[in-house]
Amino acid sequence: MSQHSDQELVLQLQAGSLEALGDLYDRYRQTVYRTALAITGDPDIASDLLQDVFLRLHRFAARIDPQRPLEPWLYRMTANLAYTWLKRERRWLRPIEDLADWLAGSAMNATYAVVELRDDWARVQQAVSLLPLSQRVVVVLYYLNDLSLQEIAGILDVPVGTVKSRLHYGRQFIKKKLGLDSGSGSETVPEFKS
Residue 80 CA to residue 63 CA, distance in Å, equals 17
The reported pTM is 0.66
Tell which residue, 28, 43, 41, 42, has the closest CA to residue 75: 28
What is the predicted pLDDT for the residue at 54?
Answer: 96
Domain assignment present for residue 156? The answer is no
Mean pLDDT of 8-26: 94
Cα distances from 167 to residues 2, 39, 63, 160, 191, in angstroms, run: 36, 15, 31, 11, 11
Identify the domain containing residue 11 by its residue range: 1-92
pLDDT in tens, 74-96: 999 998 898 888 777 654 444 34
Mean pLDDT of 36-52: 90
pLDDT in tens, 115-128: 555 666 677 777 88
Domain assignment present for residue 117? The answer is no
Tell which residue, 104, 133, 182, has the closest CA to residue 141: 133
Is the CB of residue 42 less than 8 Å from the CB of residue 94?
Answer: yes
Domain assignment present for residue 83? The answer is yes
Distance from chain centroid for Cα 157: 16
pLDDT in tens, 154-184: 988 899 999 999 999 988 888 888 877 655 4
Domain count, the chain: 1
Residue 179 CA to residue 31 CA, distance in Å, equals 31
Evaluated on CA atoms 32, 93, 154, 171, the torsion sign reads negative
pLDDT in tens, 50-71: 999 999 999 999 999 999 999 9
Residue 54 sits in a domain whose CATH number is 1.10.1740.10
Domain assignment present for residue 84? The answer is yes
Higher pLDDT: 34 or 115? It is 34
